[in-house]
Amino acid sequence: MSIIDDLTTAAKTPGLPAVDKAQLLWASREYAEIDGITFDLGVAWIDTRGCRWRWTGQRDSQGQALMLSALGKKASLDAVYLSHGPLWGEPRKLTGRDYRTAFAGGA
């Protein structure tokens, strides 16, 4: 079991305060770097065709993150980046707080 697994498991502890859970999940994120660009593997990435790619949680023999497309194709992150890049992070869903801030004129 890796430290990432330990943090993820700890975040599932019943009765854990929401703030502690959020901090554990944030700390358990993994990243990859290609050509000086840091990719957060905890989010989906969209290629130039609009296809969504997610990290499988695995790495290849060279340590590259293995990605899975919405179409079921597996490839390493560097192969996805070179063949289908640039990539951009999938936008997060807006929350009630986002809407309240927008309507209140906040930043």
Task: Summarize the chain as % helix, strand, coil (round to 5).
Answer: 35, 25, 40
Beta bridge partners of 33: 38
What is the spatial distance between Cα 80 and Cα 22, in angstroms, rounded to a whole number? 30
Q: pLDDT at position 58, please?
A: 87
Does residue 21 carry a pLDDT above 80? no
Q: Do the beta carbons of residue 54 and residue 73 sit within 8 Å? A: no
Specify if 97 maps to a domain: no
> Residue 10, Cβ neighbours under 10 Å: how many?
15
pLDDT, tens digit (0-9, with 9 covering 90-100), for 47-64: 999 999 999 888 899 989
> Is 103 among the domain residues?
no
Kindly report the pTM of this predicted structure.
0.64
Does a structural domain hold residue 99? no
Say if 105 falls within a structural domain.
no
pLDDT band at 8 (very low <50, low <70, confident <90, very high): low
Domain count, the chain: 1
**Torsion sign across C-alpha atoms 93, 97, 101, 104:** positive
| Domain span at 78 | 3-92
Of the two residues 39 and 25, the one the predictor is more confident about is 39
